[in-house]
Structure formats: structure tokens, C-alpha cells
Structure 1
């Protein structure tokens, strides 16, 4: 281990949330128009592709995802200023409950209109989650949604560090978690689509529990 100690509560919370992120992104890619609920960089590239190919339907879908994410971050930032991280995670849970209801009603195969509603809800949930993690502040800010910077940091640290620092172990665990979540989400959507909403709901509930137990009294 390097000098920096591993923050176990933060790492556990981030890993759990990232599993949910991977599952949601896989589901949105497979069933909600071929876009992502959390990866806005990818969605912006897809938007450019849609513009270049005059694919207006795909462009509308990516714009929907981006708008949902922006709304989630904006709402989460406001909520965080009043109630902190736990309040924002609670708001994310509500968005995911609404998504779960819509997903079950449509059988996981929504119509064009329902697709956009569900996509707004999942993207908003991911925006809220991003705002929740930012609410930690300082050096404890960790991303559980946009992970390109996390991967960049791991590679740079591996090349320049003499050992595995706590932050590097955490980031590797987070990167692994998004793959695990995406794989689980893909399998569930393929085999038991009705069960898909349970993954992000359970992960956010677990994170809320951890946040409550570790909050200073």
C-alpha cells in the first residue's frame, strides 16, 4: 500500500453505486434507444453522428438523455445544498422507483413515447447520483457515473507510483464494478427483464444505508 489509506466506507459506497450505474447504462443502451443514461460524452458523440446522418429519431433520443442528466445534476446540486448527500440519494431513489413502475408497465419494451419518459428518469437518476457524490466535497469526491477520468488516473498512477495507493485501489474497484453491473444488467434484460429495476434500486438503498451509518453524529 502507498501512503494514502483506503477509505473503506467511501469505496464500498462508490462500488455499490457504480454497479447500479453499469446496469442502468446497459438497459438504456439495449432497450431505451441505444444511448446511455450516465455517459454524456458518448451521447454527445452519438448526437453528432445522428446529425451527420440526418437520423432525427436517434438525435432526439440522445438529446432526451442529456436533458434528463442535466436536470438531475441541477436538482441534485440544489438538494445537496439543503440536505447533503443522503437527501440527493433519496431523490435518486424516487426517480428510480418511478422508472421501475414505468418499466414494469411497459414490460421492458416501451413505446416511442414511453421510451423517452423512462430515459429521462434514468438519466435524471444518474445526474442526481453524480451530484450526490460531488456533495461529499474535497478529496472525497469520487465519480460513480463518468469514469474516463478515473481510468486515466489509474493508468497515470500505475506508471508513476511505486505502489498501489488507497485511491488507486478504490478506482480499480469502481472500474471493475461498472463492468460487473453492465454484465448483470445485460443478462437480466435478456433473461428476466422484469427484474432489471431491482439492481439500481438495491444499490442505491445499500448506499443510503452506508451513508446513514457513516454520517458523523
Structure 2
């Protein structure tokens, strides 16, 4: 799969750190507001499916399967979008990806206005928010995968945390600041998302996530690094 030429500055990593924070926002909305389902972290959904298969109370197969399916559709779309922008400036590709992701998150926020979180009703609205955020995060994950920026997947931290510990040499640890920043960004996003959900409702973290995706990307595309062609 084609990858973008690495940017000769910190502009792209800064964008990815902001996007990492939006992962925390989306997962706060999904796990706390949509009934034990992840729409950004598919490892969690596979684990939840295992719990549901064992008959554990509070876990359902339907929402987790929907999140997995829509995530994969979003990732498929991102693959096609990336291939269509091969050899074009990086800013064109990332702008399209941000516009689609932001629109999906805002549509999810609009639908979330109708969700009673406590009752998990109406069901169509709950499932709709899961599907829309799953599509958005699948598109995001596949797009970032193509960029291949070390330690900044924006959605998964297992390898990042492993690197922080395993690469300790007694001297300066490679990419420590970037790795720690990724962990802190998702932590901060989850914290803010939980507070917004508690005091403002399910739509708030989703609307903020969409705004951050678009805003941070628009800042990045003004940087000269975004004019580099994809190779």
C-alpha cells in the first residue's frame, strides 16, 4: 500500500497527536454512552464478543459486530481514497479524509441528540451512532496506517507503551516524547470525553471530535510539508 513521504518537520506528528485525542473522545462516547462497545478500538470489541459468547451479563454481540463491520467498511474506503491520491500532494488526500471523517462524526453527534443514554433507546439511534463512528474510525485508522509515522497510530497504544518500557537504555530513549505524547493525548481525550458526556450529553464529545479532526487538518495543510507528493 502506498505511503506518504515522511514530512521533514514535526507538523505531521503534531496533527496525529491531536487525532489521538479525538480517539479518546470517541471511545468515551461509545463505551460510556452506547453500552459497552468500542468504535475506535477493535481489540476491545473482539474481547467484548468473547464475553458475550460466554453469556456474561451486560455484553451484547450485535453492537460489537456492527462496530467491527462498519470499521472495516471505513477502512476499505480509506484504502481506495489513499490509492486514488497516490503521487498527489499530501494535503489533498488528508483534506478529503478529514472532511469525510468529520462529517461522519457530526452526523453521529446529530443522531446522538435523540439517544437516551440511561435507557439505551431508541435502538435505531444507538445503532446509528455506532455505525457512523465505526465508519469514521475505520477510515481514520486505515489512513494513518498508510502514513506509517512511527509510534503514532492515533488509536492503539499497546506497542507504544511497550516501546516506552522496552527501549529504555539508560540514555535518551528513541521517540520517548512522541510515545508519551500519544499516551497523554488519548488519556486527555478520554477524560474530556467522559466529562462532556456526563455534563453535556452524548453528542458533545462526538461534535468536538469532528471539529478537532477538521481544524487540526486544516492547520496542517497550510504547512509546506503538506505539499509533498505521495510516493
> Which residue is 1:113 aligned to?
124
**How many Å apart are 1:43 and its aligned residue?**
0.8
CA RMSD of aligned residues (A): 2.3
**Residues 58-100 of structure 1, C-alpha deviations (whole Å, 9 max, x = no match):** 1111111111111111111111111333322222112112112
Q: Does 1:183 align with 2:191?
A: yes
What SS does the corresponding residue of 1:184 show, helix, strand or coil? helix
Cα distance in structure 2, aligned partners of 1:115 and 1:9? 36
Bigger Cα displacement from structure 2, 126-135 vs 20-29: 126-135
What SS does the corresponding residue of 2:77 show, helix, strand or coil? helix
> Which residue is 1:3 aligned to?
none
Structure 1 stretches of 5 or more lacking a match? 1-5
Counterpart contact for 1:86–1:132, Cα < 8 Å: no
Cα distance in structure 1, aligned partners of 2:114 and 2:124? 13
Choose from 191, 211, 222 the match for 1:213.
222
Bigger Cα displacement from structure 2, 52-61 vs 66-75: 52-61
Choose from 8, 32, 37 the match for 2:10.
8
Bigger Cα displacement from structure 2, 49-58 vs 175-184: 49-58
Cα distance in structure 2, aligned partners of 1:141 and 1:156? 13
* More helix, by proportion: 1
* Residue correspondences, number: 209
Change (3 A) 1:97 1:164: same
Counterpart contact for 1:26–1:186, Cα < 8 Å: yes
List structure 1 runs of 4+ shifted beyond 6 angstroms.
54-57
Cα distance in structure 1, aligned partners of 2:196 and 2:59? 27
Choose from 198, 203, 217 the match for 2:207.
198
TM-score of the pair, normalised by structure 1: 0.87
Structure 2 stretches of 5 or more lacking a match? 1-7, 86-92
What SS does the corresponding residue of 2:153 show, helix, strand or coil? coil
Equivalent runs, 1:66-77 vs 2, <5 Å: 66-77=68-79
